[in-house]
Amino acid sequence: MPSTVYDSTIFRDAFGTPAMRAVFADEAYVAQCIRVEVALAVAQGRLGVIPREAAAAIAAKATARGIDYATLKAETDNVGYPIVGIVHQLQKQCGEAGRYLHWGATTQDIMDTATVLQVREALAIVAADLAALDKTLAGLSARHRTTVMAGRTHLQQALPTTFGQKTAVWLSMIRRHRARLRELEPRVLVGQFAGAAGTLASLGDRGLAVSDALMDELKLTRPDMPWHVARDGLAETVALLALVTASLAKVATDVMLLMQTEVGEAFEPFATGRGSSSTMPQKRNPISCELIIAGAKAVRQHAGLMLDAMLADHERATGPWHLEWIAVPESFIAAAGALEQARFMLDGLIVDAERMRRNLDITGGLIVAEAVMMALAVHTGRGAAHDLVYGACRAAMENRTPLLAELEKLAEVTRHLDRPALVRLVDPANYIGTAPAMVDRLLGKS
């Protein structure tokens, strides 16, 4: 029976995706382990380490389709690892040639390299999702480069910005993560083959040749040194997923706040019944945002778990390695779920530019007090201008009047700035600085 959100019939597509679950399914993992065992035999046959005929027989007969999972489970429960059980079943499949299976290898060689093969497939899914988000956010940024809205600091209106500038900030994070992923792959997509204690002693002077041939067969990078007790590569991979999902959670937080009733400037895509309440018919809850944030927190916790897994003792760890069996699959599945929710949300994001403009006006011009101060400072100096505008702002708040009305009462202001100038200065649309230029600069970079 499914027992977690990752395999639950009810929740699994809220916290993951079918494609990513397929990468880390039991059947997929066993198939990758068998792929490594076969590749090892083929490489060794080519080098003459085992008979060529035996290698050919293993390549022809060893298959995941014939695995009895009940038997494999029983043997794994007894041994503690699945490889012995897999090899036993493959030996039966391969007949006489089966005695040359797993030649010079140790369990962790096969499991680690199989995990790297899974990670390669999983990173390709992540890369595709990031590329799709890049395209969507670039479109939003271009479309809304001059859509004026309130920029908020400490949850209060601060200065005008544009929605395109906001989405371009989101886009800049996604592009950095795409670069990080490209930089990460050469460090992580490295096979592991080092034998019982990392010396490949059982293969005599052929150890390195076999290792190199195995990696070439699997199209993985050759390891400079064994990494069975140096786990920084997989830890870095989960750390990247934590960074990606944390950025998605920042986007989700922004959208969730923009969806508040009192703000109402942007919304998740509408679908009948989505985000509704069982008791409040009017509700439109930020469901994708909530799932993204939950997924990001789960991946963050696993990033910490992967750091614990790095504490391997001597030449074979006594338990930290097992933490990766939990953290790596769940991190990728949770990250895939967050990416899927982000793609759905941003692809159909509803932007209310009119509401953004109305919200800009609720302060009666206070949001552009800085614009007035800087224009006045040219004539009075910054300190004096700050004090004059500060006084006008306090009066506007106390009297509940527009800032323009209070400014026009001050001779020290009107002496330097006439009404047309003040009207222009208190219009938020005239104080967005270089926001559009920033968007253009980012979009000009591929």
Give kind and range of the element (H or E) at residue 267.
strand 266-267
Summarize pLDDT for 248-260 with one digit per residue, the tens: 999 999 999 999 9
Q: How far is CA 272 from the centre of its chain?
A: 29
pTM of the model: 0.94
CA atoms within 13 A on the CB side of 398: 7
287 has a pLDDT exceeding 90: yes
Cα 44 to Cα 31: distance, rounded to the nearest angstrom: 20
Annotated catalytic residue within 8, 102, 144, 154: 154
Instruction: Name the band, by pLDDT with cuts 50, 70 and 90, for residue 274.
Output: low
Catalytic, 277? Answer yes
Summarize pLDDT for 138-194 with one digit per residue, the tens: 999 999 999 999 999 999 999 999 999 999 999 999 999 999 999 999 999 999 999
> Crossing angle, helix 107-143 and helix 320-347, to 10 degrees?
20
Cα 374 to Cα 201: distance, rounded to the nearest angstrom: 75
Q: How far is CA 74 from the centre of its chain?
A: 36
282 has a pLDDT exceeding 70: no
Annotated catalytic residue within 88, 102, 144, 277: 277
Percent above pLDDT 90 for the chain: 94
